[in-house]
Amino acid sequence: MKICDILRADKVLSSMEGTNKTEIIDELINLFKDDERIKNLEEMRNAVHDREKIMSTGVGKGFAIPHAKTDSVNEIIAAFGRLDKPIDFQALDEQPVNLVFLLIGKESLVGPHIKLLSRISRMMNKDEFRESLANATTAEEIYSLFENEEKQYFENA
């Protein structure tokens, strides 16, 4: 399963408005209001926030990957947001976050969920890719960056 199989261009925000971790996560979750793949938006929201309480998903280098597994979704879904002003996400490296990738999987799809988390993490570990995302100004540009990076990943895999 590829990232661009689950990340849709209409679920990408090029300039997020939230000023703290909760607002940022909610802003991404709210993109799924009225999405046919969601059974219960509030259960999904609670699952992500509950997971975040266990340990911050701010993995470092300005990047966070809030995620959860819940049966309030019909399939694995994703959203991505870029912040103009980095925020404190209680990241592992204690640096502020300006790139956030939300991943929500179905309880029964643990394997694909873990593989996607790993793939996203590998892509986001590339300094050049993160810089390109941070400098992107439109959702279309961000989505295109993910498509191109993933093509390179598969060509080199």
What residues are labeled active site? 67
Question: At which residue do the structure tokens 């980095």 appear?
Answer: 86
Residues in CB range of 51: below 8 A, 6 or more apart: 57, 66, 67, 68
State the Cα–Cα distance between residues 43 and 110, nearest whole angstrom: 18
Residues in CB range of 145: below 8 A, 6 or more apart: 129, 132, 133, 136
